Amino acid sequence: MTSAAPDLSRPRFRFDRRLWQQFVEVAQPYFYPPEPGSSLRFFGLLATQLIFVISSAFFVAVGLTLLGQVTFPVFFTELAAGLVENVNALLNSPVLYVATGGLLVSGVIFGLFRNKLRGRWRQWFVLGLLLFLAFVVSGLNVILSYVFRFIDNALNARDPNVFWQFLGVYGITLIVAIPILIGYRYIRRKLALFWREWLTETYLKEYFQDRSYYELDSNAANTEIDNPDQRITEDVRAFTVTILDILLDILNSILDLVAFTGILLSISRQLTLGLVGYVTIGTLVALVIGTRLIKINFDQLMLEGNFRYGMVHVRDNAESIAFYRGEDLEKKQVGERLMDAIRNYDLLIIWLAFLDIFQYAYNYFARLVPYVIIAPLYFAEQVDFGTIGQSIFAFQMVLGALSLIPARIQDLSAFAASIERLGRLFEHFKFKTEGTRGEAPEKIQTYLAPHFHLRQVTLRTPNAERILFENLSLQLQPQETLLIIGASGCGKSSLMRAIAGLWTNGSGTIERPDNSEILFLPQKPYMLLGSLREQLIYPNLRENIDDTEITEALKMVNLPDLIERMGGLAVERDWPTVLSLGEQQRLALARILLNQPKYVMLDEATSALDVGNERQFYQLLQSLNLQYISVGHRPSLLDYHQWVLELTEGQQWRMISTSEFQHPEP
């Protein structure tokens, strides 16, 4: 069944269902394998873990309270009697059985999914520990609110005994809280690091599978996936860090809301209702601003990536630019990319200014609310002095919990932009895996065979705008060699790409050996980031090649002193800079000797060599008993090939023997 093509051309910059689906597609696989209907199971497991954490936190809180009663009986009897009574009431209520059932049922559910979660237990354990610590942190905030209340009341009553007792409690609480807070932050960052490593490796696997990196870079039909390297590096990092910050902030907000709303309601119902209305209006305003910020942040990420790519392009082509003296044009082009990024960032600054106006007004006016409502109650002697401080603290905690969206709308907008970029890249990978694009042009079919056989091959450019040649048919017997010639732009290198499976737009069939048996040598050899040894044995990276074999290979391609000149085989250099193009081509030829392929395809691979080195190289190829196909312009190449394929204008072609080409009939 053919999959429907994803709509990659028109991103929608809204907090909507599609953005949520993209979020789930990116976030879920780290915790649960993606499959039909798996999202419900994934969120069910998240809810189950939350129940397990809540139940565990309940028993820990009860245990610590009972332990404190035994350890500090006077304090708990005189000053915290209400806490002990509440705990004893919970132990004699159905809550105890609910918490026990939560632990048991959660364990059973995770046991049922143990096969699905194989290889994913670490992330679930770390996430569970993180959730538990979030409950602990929220509990510490509640404890501190009561400690401050007792301290304020002691000051107002001029009671030094109670003051110093609760100041001691405050000190003990800090001693306990600081390691917990540090551990909480450390584990959160560690989980983000684990997640980034896994998600990056997953994207890299898809990126390098089926040469997706090549399609994303060169296929004009997919240019809407801009800067895939930036998406895999920067957006993945931002996603894994921000998602934990936001989700844990949401959880903390819920916990603070539950814990402090009760305190706030016990003080003033009017204060609570006024707060809810205030936050509702603020959230709606923030969402309006945030929706606009998503697109601006999305564009900024794209434009920054384009600017960075322009600078990298100059660095990678510095010598060519210097020869052409093209500094002015390069500066102009890079400057245009910079100005695009600056103009968009200027727009971002304007909208952030609107956001700042809203947030400052929102926060400063919110500080007046508890004073306006609580002060009359205090003057009427309906509440004590300590209640004022506790109500302000509780108000700020509930305000912070309910104001998550207004307070973090810029972070949420930037996060949504990262989700959009990663989600679109994920959709591209997913669609490529599941099926062929429904609207894609006809494809050339490729089959594996121990020979080269092309049947009625018509090749188009990747964007399908131009036909390079039509109905090309040829067959090479084992060990037969072929030279492809023709004017520039007629499709010689494109034919090599089609045989390699890089270009598939067109029709016809190609039978060829597996790519693992073929070594492709382009005109400008690829120099990887690695040692000289890795350069020579690329792409197989075999470890069982000894130094003697490498030295002999270099001698055979007229690079006998390269190892000594470079400082050894283990040295790493900027190889495109330190080696001339001719040396790079000879080094690439040495790869043939070390990798020992059965077939070699050379796209003007000797263009930088003199005729003598070229002759020596092809004589070496002939002695290796392998089959090769070459693209070239030099007449001297005819001496080393049996067949000639000439591509001409008008999508025409002809294939004749070398002798017929050299000595045409009158």
How crowded is residue 44: how many other Cβ atoms within 10 Å of its Cβ?
A: 13
- Same domain? 491 vs 375: no
Domain for residue 47, yes or no?
no
Same domain flag for 592 and 555: yes
Q: By the 8 A CB rule, do 428 and 6 touch? A: yes
pLDDT level of residue 433 (50, 70, 90 thresholds): low
Whole-angstrom distance, CA of residue 555 vs CA of residue 561 = 8
Look-up of token digits 């912070």: 400
Q: Alpha-carbon distance 126 to 112, whole Å?
A: 20
Distance CA 397, CA 543 (A): 60
Query: Which one, of 423, 428, 451, lies nearest residue 518 by Cα?
Result: 451
Is residue 38 scored above 50 in pLDDT?
yes
Q: Are 472 and 387 part of one and the same domain? A: no
Task: Kindly report the three-state secondary structure assignment for every residue of 99-124.
Answer: HHHHHHHHHHHHHHCCCCCCCCHHHH
Q: Please, are residues 481 and 642 in contact by the beta-carbon 8 Å criterion? A: yes
In one-letter notation, the amino acid at residue 358 is F
Any domain includes 471: yes
Q: Which helix (H) or strand (E) holds 504?
A: none
Residue type, 145: S
- For the cut 80, the answer to whether the pLDDT of residue 385 exceeds it is no
Q: Considering only 47-51, 224-228, 401-405, 430-434, which range has the smallest mean pLDDT?
A: 430-434
The answer on 474 and 379 residing in a single domain is: no
Q: Is residue 616 part of a domain?
A: yes
Same domain for 341 and 425: yes
Residues 453, 422 share a domain: no
Query: Are the CB atoms for 401 and 4 separated by under 8 Å?
Result: no
**CB neighbourhood size of 234 (10 A):** 17
Tokens of 339: 């100005």
Task: In whole angstroms, give the CA distance from residue 354 to residue 107.
Answer: 49
State residue 543's pLDDT score.
Answer: 64
223 with 372, same domain: the answer is yes
Report the C-alpha gap between 177 and 184 in whole angstroms: 10
We report the CATH number of the domain holding residue 200 as 1.20.1560.10
User: Taking the CB of residue 13, how many other CB atoms lie within 10 A of it?
Assistant: 19
Instruction: Kindly tell me if the per-residue pLDDT of 120 is higher than 80.
Output: yes
pLDDT of residue 447: 92
Give burial (CB, 10 Å; 0-12/13-18/19+) of 220: exposed
What is the distance between the alpha carbons of residues 623 and 85, in angstroms, rounded to a whole number? 94
Q: What pLDDT, on a 0 to 100 scale, did the predictor assign at position 24?
A: 87
Residue 77: the pLDDT is 62
Same domain, 326 and 187: yes
Residue-wise pLDDT for 252-274, tens only, equals 777 777 767 777 777 777 777 77
Nearest-angstrom CA–CA distance, 413 and 367: 26
Query: What angle separates helix 269-316 from helix 385-402, to the nearest 10 degrees?
Result: 40
Tell me, what CATH number does 475's domain have?
A: 3.40.50.300
Among residues 434, 469, 485, the one where a domain terminates is 434
Q: Which residues contact 480 (CB under 8 A, 6 or more apart)?
A: 627, 642, 643
**Percent of residues, the chain, with pLDDT higher than 90:** 23
Preceding peptide of 539 cis, ω within 30°? yes
Shared domain for 359 and 454, answered yes or no, is no
The DSSP secondary-structure symbol of 367 reads: H
d(CA 133, CA 129): 6
The pLDDT value given to residue 139: 80
Q: Is residue 290 part of a domain?
A: yes
Strand-pair category, 627-631 with 482-486:
parallel
Residue-range definition of the domain harbouring residue 531: 445-662
Asked, for residue 50, whether it belongs to a domain, the answer is no
> Looking at the predicted structure, is the pLDDT value of residue 453 above 90?
yes
Max CA pair span of the chain = 122
C-alpha closest to that of 606 among 556, 658, 557: 557
Same domain, 387 and 471: no
The answer, yes or no, to whether residue 342 has pLDDT greater than 90, is yes
For residue 503, with 0-12 CB atoms within 10 Å meaning exposed, 13-18 middle and 19 or more buried, which class applies?
buried
- Give the C-alpha separation, 79 to 450, whole Å: 88
Indicate if the pLDDT at residue 480 is higher than 90. yes
Q: In the numeric block, which tokens belong to residue 644?
A: 């000639």
388 with 256, same domain?
A: yes
Instruction: Report the domain count for the chain.
Output: 2
Residue 1 lies inside a defined structural domain of this protein: no
Q: Specify the DSSP class assigned to residue 2.
A: P
**What's the average model confidence in pLDDT over 364-389?**
76
Q: Is 184 a residue whose pLDDT tops 50?
A: yes
In a domain, 149, yes or no: yes
82-91, 262-271, 350-359 — most confident range: 350-359
Going from the C-alpha of 141 to that of each of 84, 148, 201, 227, the distances in angstroms are 19, 11, 39, 44
The H or E element that residue 14 is part of is none
Q: According to the model, what pLDDT value does residue 143 have?
A: 78
Does any domain span residue 607?
A: yes
Q: How far apart (Å, rounded) are the C-alpha atoms in residues 503 and 494?
A: 7
Contacts 24+ apart (CB under 8 A), 156-164: 156/384, 156/385, 156/386, 162/79
Quote the mean pLDDT of the chain. 82
Residue 336 sits in the same domain as residue 187: yes
Q: How far apart are CA 593 and CA 584, in angstroms?
A: 15
Among residues 407, 434, 461, the one where a domain terminates is: 434
Asked if the model's pLDDT at residue 441 lies above 70, the reply is no
Task: Say if CB 83 and CB 65 are below 8 A apart.
Answer: yes
Asked if the model's pLDDT at residue 297 lies above 50, the reply is yes
Single residue among 434, 468, 488 that ends a domain in this structure:
434
Q: Say whether 344 sits in a helix, a strand or coil.
A: helix
Q: Identity (one letter) of the amino acid at 195? A: W
